[in-house]
Structure 1
Amino acid sequence: MYWTVLASGFRRHATYRVATAAGVFTNTVFGFVLTFTYVALWDERPRLGGYDMAEALAYVWIGQSLLAACSLMGGGFEEELIQRIKTGDIAVDLYRPADLQLWWFSANLGRAAFQLLGRGVVPMAVGALAFDLALPEHPLTWLAFLVSVLLGVTVSFAVWYLVALSVFWLLDGAGAVQVAWLSGVFFSGMLLPLTVFPGALGEVARALPWASMLQVPADVFLEKRTGWELWEAYAFQAGWALVLLAAGRAVQAVATRRVVVQGG
């Protein structure tokens, strides 16, 4: 059943061809803007954050490729879930012979798979054609990268699931979404690699779950994490995924008791 939900999520987003084309265009434009910004910065500070120029530019385009797949700025399943909670339609979801969290996780995984293909491949290809990007030297790195992306998508889902469930108490998710959106942009490393952040700020940023969504997959792609360090990266991502998914399940158990109050 959950595989059917996943496939349905993929097909559903595949129907929005104009929106996908617009997203590809936007990601590509922002990729160029960030690339020229990085070029100016790395010209002044070569090896900033442990990256050379080619690695830094590859980091930019990896970020644009994962922006939608990992919902770094939101715009995924959480909008629909928030609306269903606000209207009380969530009660219908609870009557389904399926686990609520697994249902939405499956749907989001289908969405993320399409976004990675639909909005990720083209910008990365354009960036590789237009600039000298550092690409993996070993074929297995691509597989290692996809595993890291899958874990990053899982962490992203767990974060946004908690954000959506907060509406049971807040009644309006705008504030929580804004906080999560800003946190995702800053602490995922979308603006700058987290290795650039100084001192305690850098240590904290690299320890937060948002690092799993971009910084870690990017380092896997750039072969900064190999051997034992690769397994440590996976453990970091999987650890946050398990903690946040467990938190989501606990909050769900408490929150669904409010359906009668909020859903009528």
Structure 2
Amino acid sequence: MRAYLEVARKSFLSNLVFRTEYFAGLLGAIVTIFVNISIWRAIYDEEGTLDHLQFSMTVTYVILALSLFHIFTMDEYVIEKKIKSGLITSDLLRPISFRLYTFSYHLGGLVYRIILLLLPTLLFYTVVYKILPPFSWFMFCIFLISIMLGYLVMYSLNFIIWVSAFWFYKTFSLITIKETAVMVLSGAVIPLWYFPEWLVDYIKLTPFDTIFFIPISIYLGQMPAGEMWQSLMKQVLWLLFLTVAGHFLWKRASYKLVVQGG
């Protein structure tokens, strides 16, 4: 365990070195949210209300969703680069789990973005737009649990795409498709409240709504108690499924590497 904590610590510290990249990322997050809020403001000014939802609720949703989307950013080519450089072989020879090593590496980056990206962004927009507080302290605690599950679902989904680099020379196309699907179907840009009901029914058959939409709906109190517990269970089930699928693919990939390496 100490080795993985050290990996996370070094990942956190390495992110601190690139200060220019940090300020660019912070500015990018603030501008992206501002542009989206401006679009929603224009829609509300013309329509008055949307599905009986107040503008402040939509603004809070957009700020939370896009802020979380930015901190959930991961090194999409972490495994592909190791395969192309040949470093994957030395990583597999280490007396630690490569999967846990990769997770610890991204966990360090996540902590960095929470402290230095998420908190300043939320503070800025709390002053500018008066973000709504959580529906209740109980809902806030459930929200924290749900958002942790959402991150793990996102990571597990990403890991499956990353491991596909063992079979595909380049994973750019797969990653682009996945990123687009997550951005649209998870409610990161447009809350699923505004999607056609028939489309939402199909989206709920996928893991995408478990990443952002479910946690933020809980935060805003837009989910009945019974449905909330079902949604949390759905997050857990998708996490288990994607973790098992990723474990299976990793075993196949490791076997493929050993056979080719002789």
Q: Distance in 2 between matches of 1:257 and 1:175?
A: 25
Q: TM-score, normalised by structure 1?
A: 0.89
8 Å CA contact retained: 1:10, 1:113: yes
Aligned CA distance change for structure 1 residues 84 and 263 (closer, same or farther; 3 Å)? farther
Q: How do residues 63-102 of structure 1 correspond to structure 2 at under 5 angstroms?
A: 63-71=65-73, 76-102=74-100
Q: Distance in 2 between matches of 1:66 and 1:9?
A: 19
Aligned residues: 260
Q: Distance in 1 between matches of 2:79 and 2:131?
A: 38
Q: Distance in 1 between matches of 2:24 and 2:217?
A: 28
In the alignment, which residue of structure 2 is the partner of 1:115? 113
Q: CA RMSD in A?
A: 2.1
Query: Which one of the candidate residues 207, 213, 226 is aligned to 1:209?
Result: 207
Q: Distance in 2 between matches of 1:226 and 1:15?
A: 44
Whether 2:29 is the aligned partner of 1:31: answer: no
In the alignment, which residue of structure 1 is the partner of 2:12? 10
Query: Which one of the candidate residues 221, 232, 235 is aligned to 1:234?
Result: 232
Measure how far apart 1:25 and its partner are: 0.7
Aligned CA distance change for structure 1 residues 226 and 201 (closer, same or farther; 3 Å)? closer
Structure 1, residues 131-190: CA drift from partner, whole Å, max 9, x if none? 143221423433322222211111111111111111111111111111111111111112
The residue identity in structure 1 corresponding to 2:44 is: W
Measure how far apart 1:109 and its partner are: 1.9
Larger deviation: 177-186 or 49-58? 49-58
The residue identity in structure 2 corresponding to 1:131 is: Y
In the alignment, which residue of structure 2 is the partner of 1:105? 103
Rg bigger for which structure?
Answer: 2
The residue identity in structure 1 corresponding to 2:57 is: E
Q: Distance in 2 between matches of 1:159 and 1:13?
A: 23
Q: Distance in 1 between matches of 2:100 and 2:199?
A: 34
Task: Tell me the secondary structure at the aligned position of residue 102 of structure 1.
Answer: helix
Measure how far apart 1:130 and its partner are: 1.3
Aligned CA distance change for structure 1 residues 262 and 123 (closer, same or farther; 3 Å)? farther
Larger deviation: 90-99 or 37-46? 37-46
Q: Distance in 1 between matches of 2:169 and 2:129?
A: 47
> 5+ unaligned residues in a row in structure 2: which ranges?
none
Q: TM-score, normalised by structure 2?
A: 0.90
In the alignment, which residue of structure 2 is the partner of 1:136? 134
Q: Distance in 2 between matches of 1:28 and 1:127?
A: 8
Aligned CA distance change for structure 1 residues 102 and 170 (closer, same or farther; 3 Å)? same
Q: Distance in 1 between matches of 2:53 and 2:104?
A: 35
The residue identity in structure 1 corresponding to 2:10 is: S
Task: Tell me the secondary structure at the aligned position of residue 71 of structure 2.
Answer: coil
Aligned CA distance change for structure 1 residues 252 and 186 (closer, same or farther; 3 Å)? same
8 Å CA contact retained: 1:152, 1:212: yes
Percent of residue pairs identical? 25
8 Å CA contact retained: 2:156, 2:239: yes
Measure how far apart 1:32 and its partner are: 0.9
Q: Distance in 1 between matches of 2:198 and 2:160?
A: 27
8 Å CA contact retained: 2:33, 2:62: yes
Task: Tell me the secondary structure at the aligned position of residue 223 of structure 1.
Answer: coil
Q: Distance in 2 between matches of 1:227 and 1:12?
A: 42
The residue identity in structure 2 corresponding to 1:118 is: L
Structure 1, residues 235-262: CA drift from partner, whole Å, max 9, x if none? 1211111111110000001111222576
8 Å CA contact retained: 2:29, 2:70: no
The residue identity in structure 1 corresponding to 2:99 is: Q
